[in-house]
Chains A and B, each alone.
Chain A
Amino acid sequence: MHLTIALAQINTQLGNPEANLDKHLACLRDARQNGADLILFPELSLTGYTLQDLVPSVATSTGRENPVFSRLMKESLEIDIVVGFVNEDIRHRFYIAAAYLSKGEIVHIHNKVYLPTYGLFDEKRFFSPGDRFRAFDTRWGRVGILICEDFWHASSPYLLWQDGADILLMTSASPGRGVTDEQLGSAKWVETINQTYAGLFTCFVAHTNRVGFEDGLNFWGGSTVFDPDGKLVVKAQNDIETLTYAHLDLAQLRRTRSRLPLLRDERPEIVLRELERIMENERNRPLH
């Protein structure tokens, strides 16, 4: 089986979901025309990233009554879509979220678990953290979604892997920093860990990062797909808005895992037992 993913490396308007929806629709048209089965938009693709006090005004529930969402759900009859948005739950908590839409339905919503609140980041001030990592089934097999800081924690892709995900879909709005080396420091780091996950978990890892500026923050793009051997399948050019296509031969999973049975040999029961011991020790640790 083959899967064609389109990485929608776009710029967004800050706090203007209508304008951003138009751009999504244009990308969807192009991606369909180019035979894509799935399109991956970056983190907070409908709203922009540094929202601060704009969060409540751009937040959306995910029902059909919401015009932006119902439009995207309709579009998903033709192509599977991963879209980034601010998810508001019924008790008015706001999450950085990504939804997987397919055949007119919401298949899965991931609320970002790890909210960076250090250095230039201030997410926990404005958002609630998600509390779970769950893989889910699609026509292309089992898939997991992680949003930016989620995949700076090695446990997140590990859990999705153990939950059956063979394709990891990563989205981010990652500001560039570090200009001493050949490549932007943050770009190199993100690329390295995604490649590492692909190799260690013998799975596909697709990542879309946005481009453009918000004040002085520079989002570099550089979206990638790595295959289960950890080999680069495709890389989008840095800094520009582009739809980049990756044609994935899903049978590579079988070939790689026949050669390198890391999944077969993994011992999650040891991980669980040792974590329980570690957590227990932590609970029993004297206060001083």
Chain B
Amino acid sequence: MKEIDLSINSDLVRTILTRFVHSEVTRTGLGRAVINLSGGLDSALVSYIVAEALGPENILALRLPYKTSSADSLDHAQLVIDALGIHSKTISISEMADGLINQDPGMSNVRKGNIMARCRMIVAYDQSESFKGLVIGTGNKTEVLLGYTTLYGDSACAINPIGDLYKTQVRQLSRALEVPPPIIEKAPSADLWTGQTDEGELGFTYEEVDKLLYLLVDQRYSPEECVGEGFKEEFVRSVVNRIRRNHFKRVMPPSAKVSSRTVPYDFLYMRDWGT
């Protein structure tokens, strides 16, 4: 197997990401941010970056447990809140989620998980309005590429500081920013049902898939060339399919073009237009 090094210059990335957050939040006219703090690593790292960019007094961390959420998730989120001195609120989503879940006793875990993710999105955007802060995203590049996310759920945000960092790189940067070790060391999990882990559900480890994604996406290797570098053909094929199948989560919904000018095909502006 080819030696594939995903390590980054943590100081450089830290500078870019904090400047990005500061620029993209303040140019909207706001100076505050809301983060759904799950207790996992991605949202912990984002909290560290955003607190550094805007000041801890301008951050609201939301702990949004469902009744089956693990106690560890709440505890680990609290570690971050205490370490950074950011504002926090704990709001149960059990009632709002169960309002829908209880209407269908045979509901699958995936459906329940999607409902929870979307309930959390509703709370984050509601708190965004009352706290006058932008919702900051916490999806990493591995998730974005694999589509391992709930559309309009955990993927919903105003800006996403870590969307161009693979999970492996999130771990490296988290160590550099001194995110509490228990959060770095635990198995990644969406904690949508008891015992769920990302790597169990995906069927491979982040370390494996990040190396493959790095070759396929960053280095523009063909799938055949990845197999040539020692990745199993079946693994490569499944990842390539997954990237393609989930592209709908990465783009705006297409409109049927009937006029002479249509969003987004020929109505092209940056989000930062005018600022």
On A, residues with C-beta under 8 Å from B are 13-16, 50, 52-54, 176, 179-184, 212-216, 218, 239
Contacts and interface: CB of A to CB of B under 8 A. Distances in A.
B7 interface: yes
Given A15-B274, A176-B16, 19 more contacts: A14-B273, A50-B270, A52-B269, A53-B266, A53-B268, A54-B273, A179-B12, A179-B13, A180-B8, A180-B9, A182-B9, A212-B23, A213-B24, A214-B270, A214-B272, A216-B20, A218-B16, A239-B15, A239-B19
Contacts of B9: 179-182
A218 B164 CA distance: 13
Nearest to A187: B12
Contacts of A239: 15, 19
B135 to A, nearest CB: 16
Given A176-B16, A179-B12, A218-B20, A16 B270 contact: no
11 contacts: A13-B274, A14-B270, A14-B272, A16-B275, A52-B269, A176-B16, A213-B19, A215-B272, A218-B16, A218-B20, A239-B15
A179 B20 contact: no
A181 B11 CA distance: 11
Nearest to B261: A53
B186 interface: no
A193 B8 CA distance: 24
B111 interface: no
Interface residues of B, number: 24
Contact of A54 (B7, B8, B269): B269
B21 to A, nearest CB: 10
A213 B20 CA distance: 7
Contact of B275 (A13, A50, A53, A182): A13
A183 B9 CA distance: 8
B12 A184 contact: yes
B271 interface: yes
Contact of B270 (A176, A180, A215): A215
A239 B272 CA distance: 18
Interface-central residue, B12, B24, B266, B268, by most chain A CB under 10 Å: B12
A86 B275 CA distance: 18
Contact of A16 (B23, B266, B274): B274
Interface string B253-269: 00000000000001111
B275 A14 contact: yes
A52 B8 contact: no
Contacts of A176: 16
A283 to B, nearest CB: 33
A53 B8 contact: no
A52 B12 contact: no
B23 to A, nearest CB: 4
A188 to B, nearest CB: 11
